[in-house]
Amino acid sequence: MAKNHSGSVDRKVTASDVAERAGVSKWTVSRAFTEGASISPRARERVLEAANELGYKPNLLARSLTKRRTQMVGLVVDELANPNLFLVLDEITRQLQRRGYMSMLLNISAEHSISSALSLADQFQVDGLIFLGTILTGELIELAQDIRHIPLIVLYRNCDDPNIQVVSTDGYRAGQEIADLFLEQGYRRVTYMRGPASESTQLKRLDGFRDGLSDQELEVAPILEAGHYRRDCGFDAMRRYLDTTPASDRVEALFCENDILAIGAMDALKARGEEGSIAIIGFDDIEEADSPGYGLTTYRQPLEVLVPEAIRRLTATEEQSERRFLAPGELIVRSTHLRRQT
């Protein structure tokens, strides 16, 4: 803000004010704040010094319109009850801000909100979209590819569409590693608890798990359907299973699609007085997984690798030759996978 003679603030400092103080043109001020612009070191120094004295900050919105880039990225989410999503959002928004990008959160968890969310992304002319959800809609793909012609990155899941870039943990390999851990414990009856079903994106964890078990001629027992990534859904799915399956016919071990489902399943066993009767492994390694009350064996996704890669692809100027980037995660061994001593 500029100050009048009485010392009170009366208006916002402009590029013209900086130009006058530095003794340069307004366009020189603009070049001083534009990366890669042609300007002498001495002129840039004078502009920055004047800007600092006046408290001037460049208008990023005006500059983005001139450059035809908004520096805004849409983060498309659903299943907001999944605690791992908050960890991902924290990391990706921090890294985007560090690179000068703003984040627009687009919540498509409710059916009626999809069109309004995508309309906002279109109106604000986002420079790219990072999909952190479960169901990749045709409207979203159309917005990215046919209307806005911007990159669409699917993060943490897989997608068979050859035109969409994928940055994900190698879920197939993770499923195999978890199968091996159960086999080391000697389990023969095992199953899987699934969250929301989606044909548009896949996790591949179940595929790897199945194949890892089939190597020992074992099959996955009927899958437990939770429907959503919420603790209460994991709780209810396990409770239904316990209510409908005699103890003698129950599985010995359960691989849950993520940690919050695993925690819900463990709570259901505890509520029935059967804590530890079924070995459980989760996925994501959320904070609660390491708490003394759970000690959940799980699989950690490489956040520090996946988020920078997604942003790199989002902001790259050249075409990506490889559309899919898969990174290995880490098996975090605690106690819930162990066979209970009788």
- Cβ contact 316:309 at 8 Å: no
Give the integer Cα–Cα distance in Å for 324 and 338.
35
Instruction: Render pLDDT for 179-223 as a digit per residue (tens, 0 to 9).
Output: 999 999 999 999 999 999 888 899 999 999 999 999 999 999 999
Strands 330-332 and 298-300: antiparallel
Question: pLDDT per residue over 139-169, tens digit each?
Answer: 899 989 888 889 999 999 999 888 899 999 9
Tokens of 276: 């530890």
Q: Render pLDDT for 91-115 as a digit per residue (tens, 0 to 9).
A: 999 999 998 899 999 998 866 568 8
The domain over range 171-301 is classified in CATH as 3.40.50.2300: yes
Pairwise CA distance, residues 95 & 305, whole Å:
12
pLDDT tier at 6, thresholds 50, 70, 90: very low
Q: Is the pLDDT of residue 340 over 90?
A: no
pTM of the predicted structure, to 2 decimals: 0.81
Closest CA to 269 of 240, 309, 290, 308: 240
- What mean pLDDT is predicted for residues 247-253? 97
Task: Return the CATH number of the domain spanning residue range 2-58.
Answer: 1.10.260.40
Percent of the chain, pLDDT > 70?
92
Closest CA to 241 of 174, 298, 194, 183: 194
- Please state, in angstroms and rounded to a whole number, the distance separating the CA atoms of residues 12 and 73: 28
Q: In this model, does residue 9 exceed pLDDT 60?
A: no
Domain boundaries, the chain: 2-58, 71-169+303-327, 171-301
Reported as type and span, the H/E element at residue 178 is helix 171-184
- Mean of the pLDDT values across residues 15-23? 90
**Rounded CA separation 185/338 (Å):** 7
Q: Strands 9-11, 2-3: parallel, antiparallel or unpaired by DSSP?
A: antiparallel
- For the domain 71-169+303-327, what is the CATH code? 3.40.50.2300
DSSP string, 25-62: -HHHHHHHTSTT----HHHHHHHHHHHHHHT----HHH
Q: What is the pLDDT confidence band of residue 62, given thresholds at 50, 70 and 90?
A: low
pLDDT reading at 7 higher than 90: no
| Helices 259-271, 83-98: inter-axial angle, 10-degree rounding | 160
Q: Is 104 helix (H, G, I), strand (E, B) or coil?
A: strand
Query: Residue 190 pairs with which residues in a beta bridge?
Result: 220, 253
Q: Where is pLDDT greater, at 313 or 29?
A: 313
Would you place residue 5 in the very low, low, confident or very high pLDDT band (cuts 50, 70, 90)?
very low
Cα separations in angstroms, 127 against 36, 67, 76, 96, 124? 20, 12, 13, 12, 9
**pLDDT attached to residue 75:** 96
Do the two domains 2-58 and 171-301 of this chain adopt the same fold? no
pLDDT for the residue 73: 95
Rg (CA), the chain: 26
User: What's the pLDDT score for residue 60?
Assistant: 55
